[in-house]
Structure 1
């Protein structure tokens, strides 16, 4: 049990990588951001349950994933608004 407490949670690393790539990579960033949120939540639960390392990475992954999902949601919202306005003008 002692070896597992000093171990860094793998899901926290994955969450951080997914969160960062979600901001950088266009088009698939929304999916990566959602996956990053899921991995962050699972990592935080495992870290609390087993006393593992990596809480900071899991939180950073959660924050970057939420930011990327919010950015893509705003982009989709503006595209829908512009398309609606264009349809009404034409």
Structure 2
């Protein structure tokens, strides 16, 4: 694998990053939550996460990936109790 000088990061001088790492370097935010949100709620959530990552993590919105994984309550447990059996949700 050939290493090339990185020109994108603040430590560009002396930074060595492989071509593969540079090409595939992208921020990914994964959200795992119970099913049941509307598409509009998901749109608002992904907008808010994108705005926060741009503001606080110095990423470009075009390179940010947000993945929403919806988990049915019967497939999620906390403290040994399935989500469908919890009384506090």
Query: Which structure has more RCO (C-alpha within 8 Å, separation ≥ 6)?
Result: 1
- Greater strand proportion: 2
TM-score tier by shorter-chain length is under 0.3
Structure with higher Rg: it is: 2
**TM-score, with structure 1 as normaliser:** 0.26
**TM-score, with structure 2 as normaliser:** 0.27
- Greater helix proportion: 1
